[in-house]
Structure 1
Amino acid sequence: MTSRLRLFDAFRLEGANGNVTVPANEQRLLAYLGLHKHATRSVVAGTLWPDVTEEHAHGSLRTALWRLRRARQPAVRADGDTLHLSQGVSVDVDDLTRAALCLTGPADDTGEAPAGAPPALGLLAGGDLLPGWDEEWIGFERERLRQLRLHALESLSARLVRRGCYAHALEAALRCVAIEPLRESAHCALVAVHLAEHNVVEAIRHYESFRRLLREELGLEPSARLTGMFPHRVRDAGGELTRR
């Protein structure tokens, strides 16, 4: 029977009969293995219990493993000195990673993702990785997955524009902007959707809104890449987009 480890929005371990109650130390162990797949006992103990002696850290790890083994379907297996998630445990982070890497990989001649690509709808609704957890190893993974999601959403928006699916393309671009409001490539994706629909006024309105935000927050102007998306318009002395 397969279990499901969810690390986005909040920690959850789902079994055949619903959510499984997991104590705090065991949650951290499962989350670490869910993100790293495998690690030696020494690495796990030192990472999860960095502020105690090595002996104490290994003792805490042994206790966590013992508690997990008491479950009818243990979620962790040991291969010598290396710990792994059990084969029957799937992880939501893996689904996001596969979908994102597929979307950001090379397209075929039609601009489509390779055949058999996993669905990307989860990219639009996914939350943060383990919000409220402040361990250093989580911070690194959180940023890695955030960047992966941003690139995937931009790529998804572009692919959907090529297919003429403008509403979904707009949703993907808007989601990207919401995650990182100062990311210019996300705003380029959004402007591209408006221009593909011939909604030039909407495109200009969004450009000017982003331009004001960029000036207020960073004292910068949009790059030539974004401004150059308006081939039939020029900027006046004040930087506004106007008709030729």
Structure 2
Amino acid sequence: MSEAIKPASPPLRLWLLGQFRLEIGAEPVELCRNAQRLLAFVGLRGRVSRTVLAGILWPEVTEEHARGSLRTTLWKLPRGDRPLIQCCGDWLVAAETMQVDVHTFTETALGVVQGHGSPLPGHLPLGLLGGEDLLPGWDEDWVLLERERLRQLRLHALDTLAETLVRQGRPALALEAAWASVRTEPLRESGHRVLVAVHLAEGNLSEAVHHYQAFRQLLNEELGVEPSPQFTRMLPVHRQGRALRDRP
């Protein structure tokens, strides 16, 4: 007699970009704030010791009190066929089947950066263009550090993506990626350099000079500095004063 086939367990999905959201199957699951913090941290790290986790989530109390709060919060997590977090001695491990959007985003961004110059698909990675922050409104130190790491990774991926698209002769998509970088950090020069490179690749000297001058003015007003010589040398007219005068 053959064994009965067990029904597939519902998928676990954890969203941390834009907002905290947990779904088991297609159903959203409501969690208290401490449970959200616990699941978010373990979901990001994948594996963490109880002592470290208790100290990070409850830094203002004694170690004994923090570990007690950790035990209480673990008990409040949903219980089903598959636990969201598995206890392995002093270690807490996120369920292997739990899909975390941060990990998907990281894989996409690193794939773009590491595959610098390789052929790209016909569409832009939407995860890079979205620009949603990690857990907006959460101001704990571990969130702030991870949020900045992801922001920097996204910016580097967008710059690399735009540069690759320019070389592949796909200026419209390159502009989309470059503008996403500029919108995220308007004072970051590398995104503006890619925008100018796209205009130059299309032969649009007027637009290239106009964008350079707009960025130069913004940089002067906000930081009191000039664009880098690397940026200036991109224009056919190297001297900044003549670049504006020679503009058609």
Give the 5 Å matches for 1:111-190: 111-112=117-118, 120-190=125-195
Conserved 8 A contact 2:158-2:177 = yes
Kindly name which structure, 1 or 2, has the bigger radius of gyration based on alpha carbons.
2
Structure 1's consecutive aligned runs of 4 or more residues displaced over 6 angstroms after TM superposition are none
Give the secondary structure class of the aligned counterpart of 2:19. coil
Q: 1:113 to 1:35 in 2, by over 3 A?
A: farther
Cα distance in 2, alignment partners of residues 119 and 177 from structure 1 = 16
For residues 136-190 of structure 1, give each alpha carbon's deviation from its aligned partner in whole angstroms, at most 9, with x where no partner exists: 0111101111100000000011111122221111111001001111101111111
Q: Partner residue of 2:54? A: 45
List gaps (5 residues or longer) in structure 1. Answer: none
Q: Partner residue of 2:24? A: 15
Cα distance in 2, alignment partners of residues 42 and 3 from structure 1 = 26
Q: 2:199 aligns with which of 188, 191, 194?
A: 194
Q: CA deviation at 1:70?
A: 2.7
Cα distance in 2, alignment partners of residues 175 and 241 from structure 1 = 30
Q: Does 1:91 align with 2:100?
A: yes
Question: What count of residue pairs does the alignment treat as equivalent?
Answer: 237
Q: Does 1:235 align with 2:244?
A: no
Cα distance in 1, alignment partners of residues 30 and 142 from structure 2 = 23
Q: Structure 1: which amino acid aligns with 2:145?
A: F
For residues 114-156 of structure 1, give each alpha carbon's deviation from its aligned partner in whole angstroms, at most 9, with x where no partner exists: 8x9x972210013001010000011110111110000000001
Q: CA deviation at 1:236?
A: 5.4
List gaps (5 residues or longer) in structure 2. Answer: 1-9
Q: Partner residue of 1:220? A: 225
Of all paired residues, the percent bearing the same amino acid is: 52
Q: CA deviation at 1:14?
A: 1.7
Conserved 8 A contact 1:233-1:241 = no
CA RMSD of aligned residues (A): 2.0
Conserved 8 A contact 1:173-1:187 = yes
Conserved 8 A contact 1:234-1:242 = no
Cα distance in 2, alignment partners of residues 218 and 126 from structure 1 = 24
Q: CA deviation at 1:105?
A: 1.2
Q: Partner residue of 1:210? A: 215
Q: CA deviation at 1:106?
A: 4.6
Conserved 8 A contact 1:103-1:113 = no
Give the secondary structure class of the aligned counterpart of 2:77. helix
